Amino acid sequence: MAHWFDLGDVAVVPLIEDDRLLIDPGEFFPGLEPDLADWYAREPWFDRAAEKLVFVIQSFLVCSADEVLVVDACVGAGKDRQRPEFDQLPDRWRQQFLATGLREADVDAVVFTHLHTDHVGAATAQREPVFPHAPHFVVEEEFRYWSSEAGGAAMRRTGDYLADSVLPIEQAGQLRFVAPDAVVGRHAELVPAAGHTPGNVCVRVRGSAGTVLLAGDTMHHGVQIRHPELSTRYCVEPGAAARVRGALLDEAAGSGAVFVPTHFPVPSAGRVRRGQAGYDFEFAADLVRTGQFRYREWLGSLVTLGRRGSAPVAARSQWPDRG
């Protein structure tokens, strides 16, 4: 289902590479036995026939009248990867990107929430940056970790995606280190979330009609909403990841804020409520618009509806260096 999130003068557009990746519960959560009576163990979260968790692989465009950001870049096409579902993929991501009417040269900046294989791949093709004019923002601690011996050891299970999907960006002079709370665009700012990885961040996006938190991998599946203490086996610092997740859920439950975890089932955006057995998750149908997003048509609708020109997150002078 093609869809996007309407924040008034800002649109957040999912680019979905895989809308139903089935994962054995024990791979991410060793020892987990899903409670089949609970909501997270039903569709769309859990495939009962296969007895597997349902994940989505996606990234996001953040579009306004004067800026286009890419937040994360999925697995990418034609990459050698250890996981069969990631190995030598067709270019689904680029097809979805081009369907918006945008072209690579239209992208003003790329934001990496972290440097895992399913968040960076489409930013390069044949070891060349895809977005010719865009700085690529990442927290320095993140890059240093994955460039270290410990990071290299962790990549043995995935294939060396740093070499084919991140280092070419650095070598082209397009990688920019930013603080974990940096303002990265007219409507976007980072939120520190270290734990899953050392430089992990979320991205808060503000529009004239709403705000969403692109929550990245602070949580992978609905079971972690019900059980915030449960971190994945791939978290570098599981305790820190659990604390970050608990804080985000507590804040979201109190404020009614919408957040969008990257791997949650479509449409992914939702609100957290406190229930008798813990937190519950409700999809945010009020923000979802169905159908193919087309950038220039959407710009025309802003003029018609008088939506252009909400207050930015920060003045342009506060954005990271893009030169």
Query: Is 24 a residue whose pLDDT tops 90?
Result: yes
Report d(CA 212, CA 203) in Å as an integer. 8
> By the 8 A CB rule, do 4 and 12 touch?
yes
Judge whether residue 313 has pLDDT over 70.
no
pLDDT tens column, 31-54:
999 999 999 999 999 999 999 999
Query: Which of 311, 211, 223, 206 has the alpha carbon at shortest distance from 263?
Result: 223
- For residue 306, pLDDT over 80 is answered with no
- Mean pLDDT in residue range 224-238: 97
Q: In whole angstroms, how far apart are CA 188 and each of 69, 87, 108?
A: 9, 32, 12
The Cα-based distances of 233 to 143, 177, 196, 219, 223 in angstroms read 20, 27, 10, 12, 14
Q: What pLDDT was estimated at residue 226? A: 95
pLDDT of residue 315: 44
Q: Per-residue confidence at 79, pLDDT binned at 50, 70, 90?
A: very high
Residue 37 — φ and ψ, nearest 5°?
Answer: -90, -10
Residue 102 has pLDDT above 90, yes or no: yes
Is the per-residue pLDDT at 60 higher than 90?
Answer: yes
Neighbours of 320 (CB within 10 A): 17
Residue 233 and residue 175 in contact, taking contact as beta carbons nearer than 8 Å: no
**β-bridge mates for residue 219, sequence order:** none
Amino acid 316: pLDDT? 42
pLDDT > 50? residue 202 = yes
Q: Which pLDDT belongs to residue 1?
A: 75
